[in-house]
Structure formats: C-alpha cells, structure tokens
C-alpha cells in the first residue's frame, strides 16, 4: 500500500462531473496516448481480446479498435458518465463494449486478455499490489500490458505555489517510477520496461491551469486533501507565488509521465495476492500429469 490513499468516491465524482468537458482539455492525454500505442508494436500475435482500463471518453479505445479490428475490445472505467460519452467513438463498423468497473476488480475470467492498455489511469490507484495482481490475473501467458501514469514531479509548480500559501495538501501526489517498477516485479509481471518523459505546458495565468484540471476531472482526490472552501487570502497567496514562476511571460506546468510495458506470466507461474501465491494451470496439463503418475 502506498503512503497516501485515494478517496474512490471523490475520484468517481470528479471524473463523472468532467465527462462532458474532458475532451476540451485532453491535448496532453492524446499526445501520451500516441506514444503509448507505439509500445503495442512489441505484440506480434493477433489478439482476441483487448481491454482499455480507465478508458474515459473512449478516444484511446477507438484507436485500439482501429488497430485490432477483429479483436473484442472493451472499455472499462469507474465513472459511468464517461462511458456514456465514449459511445460517440464506438461506430457500427468498429464497435467496442463499455463496462463500468474498478481496475482492481475487473469482471473478466483468469487469463482471458491478450492486450491490456491503460493511458493515464494507474496514478489514481493507491494499491499497486492489488492493481498489478489483477493485471496478472487477467493477462494470458505472453499477453502484453502497456500503460502510462503520472510521476511525482507532475504539477510541481502548482504544488510549490500552494506550499507558499499554507501547509495543507491541495495537489495530488503520484508514485515514483521505481515504486511502480518494483510493484510490477513483485506481482510477477515479466520483463518490465519503464521510461520517463517530461512535458511542460504553459498558460496565460494560473487560473487557466486550474480550469483545465477541473475540466479533466484531475483534481485532488487524496484522502488528506484540503476539505471545504479555500480561503480567499490563501488562494491569492498561491496565485501570487505561482506568478513568480513565469518563464517568457507564461505560467509553466510540468507533467512527468511514466510509460511502461510488461508481459503476462508463463502458465503455472504464481501470482501474488495478499501475500499469498496463486498458481494457475490448464486442466489438460493437470490431467496429463495425473495420467503420467497413474502409468508410473
């Protein structure tokens, strides 16, 4: 378990409220999505089932369906309004299913997914062992998982500006690449590869960044966040502190992106759940092993 905890109800409310505004502000998400799709070139087979975890409004899911037109493609998201908006990207020629579910409790059979894709969703999950354990459970042997997530330097300027105003938590915290990689290995995922990229977006004023975060639903859902209304004096102090960070007349905002992929386990490799190891074997393999014992 990470040192911070996400308020799942608040997170769901944030994204549900942003369903109709999300695509007005998702330029960075689309850029990261483009690079994430390049990682799928490592998967050389023809997938039967592809899932998109944290699909949001379905832009990425539609791209997956274009890439794998013969596969069953499923969009998962915890916010039902997001999935309703995603319907606009699912055409009769290239349809995909939409399911409201949590990333750590997918309504899928064991070893039933060939490609598991997630763009900028995993940073909203505080229980990495549960998350990657679930990915292990649903991935087929040799299946590919590719995802992106935000790293700890994301919004570091906004965090510093708020720190100049008070000592309370106003900005979401995100996990380091090394913590993510360690959790992937601990879950039993094979050959993980992680990279870090930094993007700097600029704005005419701090309020424009705050409006964008609101429009994306990417506001603070940390259980230790500031509750209730922020006082005007503290808000003005934050704005003043942020104004001192202007570069070439613009307000900068750093987004640190972790991009990664890994492979599902070979048949029989145990997955770790709650400190226990669970191994899966095909029934044919078990029957064959029993026949060999009987013949002996």
Ranges of residues in the chain with a pLDDT under 70 are 1-4, 224-230, 267-296
How far out from the chain centre does Cα 150 lie? 8
The total of other beta-carbon atoms located within 10 Å of residue 65's CB is: 24
CB 112 within 8 Å of CB 138: yes
Task: Give tens-digit pLDDT for 158-196.
Answer: 999 999 998 788 888 898 999 999 999 999 999 999 999
CB 70 within 8 Å of CB 114: no
| 3-state helix/strand/coil string of 116-164 | EEEECCHHHCCCHHHHHHHHHHHEEEEEEEEEEEECCCCCHHHHHHHHC
Task: Give tens-digit pLDDT for 56-94.
Answer: 999 999 999 999 999 999 999 999 999 999 999 999 899
CB 265 within 8 Å of CB 136: yes
Instruction: State both tokens at 232.
Output: 């005007």
Task: Give me the pLDDT at residue 90, please.
Answer: 95
Instruction: State both tokens at 147.
Output: 């995802």
Q: What are phi and psi of 177, to 5 degrees?
A: -55, -40
Q: What are phi and psi of 249, to 5 degrees?
A: 80, 5
DSSP β-bridge partners for residue 140: none
* Cβ-proximal residues to 241 (8 Å cutoff; 6+ apart), any chain: 160, 161, 162, 164, 165
Distance between CA atoms of residues 58 and 15, nearest Å: 13
For domain 8-150+174-197+257-295, which CATH number applies: 3.30.70.3280, 3.40.50.150, 3.30.1330.90, 3.20.20.70?
Answer: 3.40.50.150
């Amino acid at each position: 378990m990470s040192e911070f905890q996400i308020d799942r109800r608040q997170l769901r409310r944030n994204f549900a409220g942003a369903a109709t505004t999300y695509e007005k502000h998702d330029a960075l998400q689309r850029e990261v999505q483009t690079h994430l799709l390049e990682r799928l070139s490592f998967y050389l087979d023809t997938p039967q089932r592809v899932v998109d975890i944290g699909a949001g409004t379905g832009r990425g899911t539609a791209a997956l369906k274009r890439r794998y037109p013969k596969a069953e493609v499923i969009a998962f998201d915890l916010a039902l309004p997001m999935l309703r908006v995603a319907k606009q990207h699912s055409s009769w020629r290239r349809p995909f299913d939409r399911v409201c579910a949590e990333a750590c409790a997918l309504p899928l059979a064991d070893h039933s997914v060939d490609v598991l894709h997630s763009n900028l969703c995993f940073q909203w999950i505080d229980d990495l062992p549960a998350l990657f354990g679930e990915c292990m459970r649903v991935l087929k042997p040799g299946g590919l998982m590719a995802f992106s997530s935000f790293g700890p330097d994301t919004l570091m300027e906004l965090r510093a500006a708020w720190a100049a105003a008070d000592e309370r938590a106003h900005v979401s915290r995100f996990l380091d690449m090394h913590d993510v990689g360690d959790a992937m290995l601990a879950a039993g995922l094979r050959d993980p590869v992680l990279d870090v990229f930094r993007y700097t977006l600029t704005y005419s004023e701090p309020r424009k960044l705050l409006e964008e975060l609101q429009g994306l639903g990417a506001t603070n859902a940390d259980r230790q966040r500031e509750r209730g209304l922020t006082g005007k004096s503290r808000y003005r102090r934050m704005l003043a502190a942020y104004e001192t960070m202007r570069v070439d007349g613009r307000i900068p905002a750093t987004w640190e992106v972790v991009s990664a992929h890994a492979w599902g386990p070979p048949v029989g490799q145990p997955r770790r759940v709650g400190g226990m190891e669970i191994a899966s074997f095909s029934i044919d393999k078990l029957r064959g092993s029993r026949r060999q014992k009987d013949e002996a």
